[in-house]
Amino acid sequence: MEPPRCVVVDTPAFHQEDTGDRFRGLYDSDIVIRSGEDGFMHRFWLLVVCLVLTLGSVAGWAQAREKIIIDTDIGDDVDDAFALALAVKSPEFEILGVSTAFGDTEARARITDRFLGEVGKPEIPVLAGRPTSTKNPMSQRKYGEVGHFTNNQRADAVDFMLDQIRRYPEKITLIAIGPLMNVGAAIDRDAATFRKLKRVVIMGGSVRKGYGDYGYNEHMPPMPEWNITNDVTSAQKLFTSGVPLFVMPLDSTQLKLDEVKRAFLFTRGTKVTDQLTILYHMWAQETPTLFDPMAVAFALKPELCPVTPLHILVDEKGSTREGPGTPNAEVCLQSNPEDFFQFYLRRVAEK
């Protein structure tokens, strides 16, 4: 998506039938002014009007961008990197910052830092959450050890999150694609401020389908999902916080990036696809499942993952059960993988 352009079309003898060919190629959002007459002063004033309209439109376009914070456990599974790639390729977003959660949060911050440095986004702050202990190996750890980084001074993730919400109340979408330690800590520290998020979109939970249920094969019953089960208490706090909550569970996020799609993406040779190529090879498995990118895609185009209001109870084992009661979440129970990949691959592959 581009900001609108202002175009003065010189048409001294303008007729309706000219429109077909003469204006072909202009974007829908362009501002087209037909001069219709000769004369220096006439053209001068048209250009002034054009300049004012363009500046106004660009300001409006910039203002309309959605403010987001991404909270990620990048570095283990590779889908976080694919989610980050979609976010940085989306001009609809103003990325206020990226925070890291779960395990060695500083190593995850370095991975994020290098990714943003390599793709030409050094201005985006990177924040490390509180480290936790885990035996989970970090497949992409070495990515954060060499390369081009941003100039970020690391600050506390939860302080940053709350400060940004105070600065832009009701304006920020928090996209949480890892275990929810930072979210739980933010609620503990200042629940009233946390509720002033515009919305939270998470990848997490398993409501009617479990891992390995792709819709066409045998049904797998719902089961505790990784992001919820790694910090059940924080998940419970989020689901009872009263914040507008949108949930992308296993039911709608088991999206396989097969070899045809990988070959397309990894041969684009852009800054972003080159970083994905490196991270994919460090991950050292074959077929990624793009769970997390659906949370980012939903924030951009909610029609890709239609939601149903449900009351979700997070039990002590991390199950996310639907039950009676006032809905506390909008949950995407089904998606169309073809529609998702049509959007995802075109967007991330763009030059």
Q: Which residues bind Ca ion (CB under 5 A)?
A: 73, 80, 177-178, 292
| Residue 311 near residue 324 (C-beta atoms within 8 A) | yes
Residue partners of 74: CB distance under 8 A and separation at least 6: 80, 81, 84, 100, 108, 111, 112, 115, 140, 178
User: Which residues are paired to 173 by β-bridges?
Assistant: 68, 199
Shortest Cβ 270–Ca ion spacing (Å)? 23
Compute the distance between CA of residue 107 and CA of residue 261 in angstroms, rounded to an integer. Answer: 29
From the list 191, 198, 121, 197, the residue with the least C-alpha distance to 152 is 121
Nearest distance in Å: CB 72, Ca ion:
6
CA dihedral angle for residue 24, residue 26, residue 32, residue 38, rounded to 10 degrees: -60
Q: Smallest gap, in angstroms, from Cβ of residue 215 to Ca ion?
A: 22
C-beta of 46 vs 254, nearer to Ca ion: 254
In whole angstroms, the minimum distance from the beta carbon of 102 to Ca ion comes to: 8
| Closest separation in Å from C-beta 24 to Ca ion | 44
Among residues 4 and 249, whose Cβ is nearest to Ca ion? 249
Whether the CB-CB separation of 157 and 101 falls below 8 Å is answered with yes
> Would you say 177 or 314 has its CB closer to Ca ion?
177
Which is closer to Ca ion, CB of 177 or CB of 232? 177
Separation of alpha carbons 53 and 270, rounded Å: 33
Q: Which is nearer to Ca ion, 46 or 227 (CB)?
A: 227
Of 107 and 177, CB closest to Ca ion: 177
Q: Which positions ≥6 away from 16 have C-beta within 8 Å?
A: none
Establish how many alpha carbons lie within 13 A of residue 179's alpha carbon, considering only the half-sphere containing its beta carbon. 24
Least Å distance, CB 15 to Ca ion, is 58
CB of 227 to Ca ion, least distance (A): 7
> DSSP 3-state assignment of 302?
helix
Instruction: Enter the tokens of residue 311.
Output: 């009351």
- Tell me the CB-side half-sphere exposure of residue 18, using CA atoms within 13 A: 11
Contact 186, 164 (CB under 8 A): no
Residue with Cβ nearer Ca ion (180 or 278): 180
